[in-house]
Amino acid sequence: MIRFVLRRVLAAIPIGLIVTLGVFALVFAMPGDPLRELAGDKPIPAAVLAAKRAQYHLDDPFIVQYLLSMKDILTGHFGTTFAGADIGDQLRLRIPVTLKLATLSMVFQWVLGLIFGIYAGFKRNGWVDRSLLLATLVLLAIPGLVAYFAAQYLFAVELKWFPVSGVLEGYPRSYLLPALVIGVLGFAGLGRLMRTSIVETVNADFVKTARAKGLGEQRVLWRHILPNALLPVVTFIGLDLAGLFGGAIITESIFNLPGLGQFMFQAVKLKEGGVVVLLCTLAFISFILINLLVDVLYGVLDPRVRNV
């Protein structure tokens, strides 16, 4: 297992360099001067502008700026944003916000998706199964951006069940509405996958053989059906977790949550390539760690894949 993990980590290094280089190139290619955009309509003295450009190496070639950004990441000296905010302090303030949102939304998604998916799979063609398929079909057809704004308007502005935006009301109240929207939208795919996997596993030959041997339904369920039915679900959950940061950019911007997603949106808007590369690196590391965890869970659920 240790050799397997080391191989994955070593293979991820060149991929990470390619990803961060590509992201930095896209930010670098964006039109406009970030310092002038930050100042707005206020005039900037030429001497001040030149000093700021030298401070942030904005006049250096693209590859030099990228290497300096990677050096800051590797040494842990992140510096400041163009507005003068310490990037390390920003990370310490924003990471807990994103983790709270992610944890709460995953709880909603997993509880709804697994419970309804398992029940619908065992009670195939029942009213719960038909309701699940219809509800998930509707949810999958709704664009996420529309769902965020509709939920914010209906439940926060009109009904006033939740705060409209921000984190002034603390955890979990300020996070409930965006987490519910993320969870319900994610539940659609997870519930359908869980239901389909259960249906396919229940009709498999090894399950029929287990029942023919006289094993009880509880033992067949926990020892034969669920471990095999969960294999594709674990993959789905892993990919969903890995892609959560991308969704957080939209969610946190709409609900004004001061997390990593909002930080990324602001950094892209102001062409802060160093911040964008730092956040992409954090997201990439999270992706690698989550995929390693998924591989370990695969080995727990199905011992046959441990030596593959």
Residue-level pLDDT, tens digit, the chain, 308 residues: 667 667 767 777 787 788 778 877 887 777 777 777 666 667 777 777 777 777 777 777 888 888 888 887 788 778 788 777 888 888 888 889 888 888 888 888 888 888 888 888 777 777 877 888 888 888 888 887 888 888 888 888 888 888 888 888 888 888 889 988 888 888 888 888 888 888 888 777 777 787 777 777 777 777 777 777 877 787 777 777 766 766 777 888 888 888 888 888 888 887 787 788 888 888 877 777 777 777 777 666 666 555 55
Q: Nearest-CA neighbor of 240 among 204, 203, 207, 191? A: 191
- Per the CB < 8 A criterion, the answer to whether 194 and 118 are in contact is yes
Residue type, 244: L
* Cα–Cα distance list, 8 to 45, 47, 220, 237, 285 (Å): 50, 49, 35, 19, 12
The two three-digit tokens of residue 163, written as one number: 């705060």
* Cα–Cα distance list, 1 to 19, 227, 273, 287 (Å): 27, 21, 37, 19
CA distance 46 to 57: 16
pTM score of the predicted model: 0.77
Give the pLDDT of residue 5: 65
CA distance 266 to 269: 5
Q: Nearest-CA neighbor of 248 among 172, 139, 108, 148? A: 148
The H-assigned helical ranges of the chain are 2-29, 34-39, 46-55, 62-75, 87-122, 127-141, 144-151, 173-202, 205-212, 217-220, 226-242, 244-254, 260-269, 273-301
What DSSP designation does 214 have? T
The two three-digit tokens of residue 46, written as one number: 């030429």
The two three-digit tokens of residue 236, written as one number: 């789905």
C-beta neighbour count of 87 within 10 angstroms: 20
The total number of residues shown for the chain amounts to: 308
- Per the CB < 8 A criterion, the answer to whether 132 and 138 are in contact is no
CA distance 271 to 282: 18
Contacts of 167 (CB under 8 A, 6+ apart): 97, 174, 175, 257, 258
